Copies of this chain bind each other. A is one copy, B any other.
Amino acid sequence: MNDRFLRACRREPVDRTPVWFMRQAGRYMKEYLEVRKRHSILDVCKTPELSTEVTLQPIERFSLDAAIIFADILLPLEAMGLNLEFIESKGPVFHNPVRSDADVERLIPVDGESFGYAGAAIAMTRKALANRVPLIGFAGAPFTLASYAIEGGSSRDYRLTKDMMFARPDLWHALLTKLSNGVIEYLQVQIHAGAQAIQLFDSWVGCLSPDDYEEYVLPHTQRIFTALASAGVPKIYFGTGTATLLPLMRKTGCDVMGLDWRVRLDEAWATIGYDLAVQGNLDPLVLGAPVKEIEKRVRKILQQANGRDGHIFNLGHGILPHIPVDAVEATIDIVHQFSTREVEV
């Protein structure tokens, strides 16, 4: 097996920097759009055959070093009784948002059986991958899940989320405890079914001050990683706009820190500490630039990583739908070309 990705997660030497992309299975690929003509996002997530097919599309096409199961960060919320709908122009929408004591009360406790489809999708994908590359499982982190649950969808300022956090800390913590329980179950199912690493997406946590992160989020994220520690798979923690949160985020117990492009990789790694691996951090919009410009920027990131063990190349957020497939291919080649090194493995 190509185990560069797993070795880098464990900060072991690799012959070249492993690379995968968040949302590497997605709308920028015509193969994906073809499947989506006939099936909704939720259908694909919940039908192991479709999830497997879509997960493998970028693996068949590109020289990637890891696969990530096709799923959605919001599935734990859906299992807990929120009506999730994806609306083309707006993204995910919940028609019954969580805003009151009664709303938190009515959340359905989940267990492993709630996520049977997820386990089946992981198992089937592992089989289809046939050990070509490792498979990553994932979930939304409790803050980011809460923001969707409370706002009823995406948000620009997270007003209702912070209203609950600031005015009803008791209710906030009750909600995050329930969400964390769901996330733990969901990730455990994935790990038991064969996920070889997991990533927790705290995509919108960067809207918080460090003090608020520490008080209202850290204990919950920490509990999740602690609960999964014995499983022995690498745990990646990712968010955007997290420059000032990184020292706190490392306290969660993650093994790999996902970085967005707003931080310099070398400075962020020094801040976090070299006993963690890092993942990132090209601005996703750079993939819309000419290849020369992509190359310049990829090389700058590789120079900042400085050949140190424990760097996984990725974007600072997901691949955007308008990005040309050729740019994705070129980026992977550039990473491999400029990071190849002699190493005894």
Contacts and interface: CB of A to CB of B under 8 A. Distances in A.
A166 B323 CA distance: 14
A223 interface: no
B244 A286 contact: no
Interface in A171-215: 206-212
A244 B261 CA distance: 10
Q: How many identical subunits does the complex contain? A: 2
Interface in A235-264: 241, 243-244, 261-264
B289 A320 contact: no
B264 A320 contact: no
A163 B289 contact: yes
A293 interface: yes
A251 B120 CA distance: 55
A106 interface: no
A162 B158 CA distance: 25
B264 A162 contact: no
A167 B285 CA distance: 11
A278 B273 CA distance: 29
A138 to B, nearest CB: 21
Contacts of A156: 156
Contacts of A300: 211
A295 interface: no
Interface residues of A, number: 34
Nearest to A163: B288
Nearest to A287: B166
A147 to B, nearest CB: 13
A283 B167 contact: no
Contacts of A158: 285
A167 B290 contact: yes
Contacts of A244: 243, 262-264, 267
Interface in A271-303: 283-286, 288-290, 293, 300
A163 B209 contact: no
A341 interface: no
A322 interface: yes
A127 interface: no
Interface of A: 156-159, 162-163, 166-167, 206-212, 241, 243-244, 261-264, 267, 283-286, 288-290, 293, 300, 320, 322
